[in-house]
Amino acid sequence: MVRVRKVLTRPLVVAVLVVAVGGVGFGLYWFQPWKLWQDTTVDEALPGVVTSVPPAAAPPEGSPGRPSPAAGPRTLASGELISHEHQTSGTAKLVRLADGSHVLRLENLATTSGPDLRVWLTDAPVKQGLAGWHVFDDGRYVSLGALKGNKGSQNYALPRDVDPAGYSSVSIWCDRFDVSFGAAELARA
């Protein structure tokens, strides 16, 4: 026991132990492996969609209190999410709202949670497999913010100065490791 104590109190051994503990702590902070088992579900309604009103209380068609069908949200482009670094599925839709603003809507999203995940609107082509993991930061992209949840349906507002016609894909992007978790090519409607 005395011999073990002498070995553990040597300056070199103490320094190695401090570096090892610090390295493990930094590794846990940087990779955040516990997020692989955490799910956050977010289910948002599409902005501007009128919830159903009971028929008896609904104003007659064409009256000032009832919005016309053309005044609602309109899907401009959509595509199915494919997997890259992590298993990812769902649908991405670029939607113009009645007020002229745009949102990117992720519907039925299912992906792995991870550190520093972002939703990007990009001009990069979507490629299958390993070839598609790193292409989205090569061209133009707009970060629409942090991923709200790794499951569910959610909306991301486009800044007013962004012309959605200049972007052709969406990526769930891990900013910490510069890799796509999943992406969708946006086909115009």
In tens, the pLDDT along 97-111 reads: 999 999 999 999 999
Residue 65, φ and ψ in degrees, nearest 5 = -80, -10
**Burial category of 99 from C-beta neighbours within 10 Å (exposed 0-12, middle 13-18, buried 19 and up):** exposed
| 90 three-class SS | strand
Q: Percent of the chain, pLDDT > 70? A: 70
Q: Give the residues across from 171 on adjacent strands.
A: 120, 183
47 vs 19, more confident: 47
Q: Is the pLDDT higher at 17 or at 144? A: 144
User: 49 or 26: which carries more pLDDT confidence?
Assistant: 49
Better-predicted residue by pLDDT, 172 or 31: 172
Q: pLDDT band for 137, please (50, 70, 90 cuts).
A: confident
Query: How far is the CA of 64 from the CAs of 10, 54, 91, 175, in angstroms?
Result: 84, 17, 34, 47
What is the Rg, in whole angstroms, of the alpha carbon atoms belonging to the chain? Answer: 24
Contacts of 189 (CB under 8 A, 6+ apart): 75, 76, 77, 78
**What pLDDT, in 10s, does the model give residues 74-93?**
999 999 999 999 899 999 99
pLDDT of residue 53: 47
Give the best-scoring range by mean pLDDT among 55-59, 116-120, 128-132.
116-120
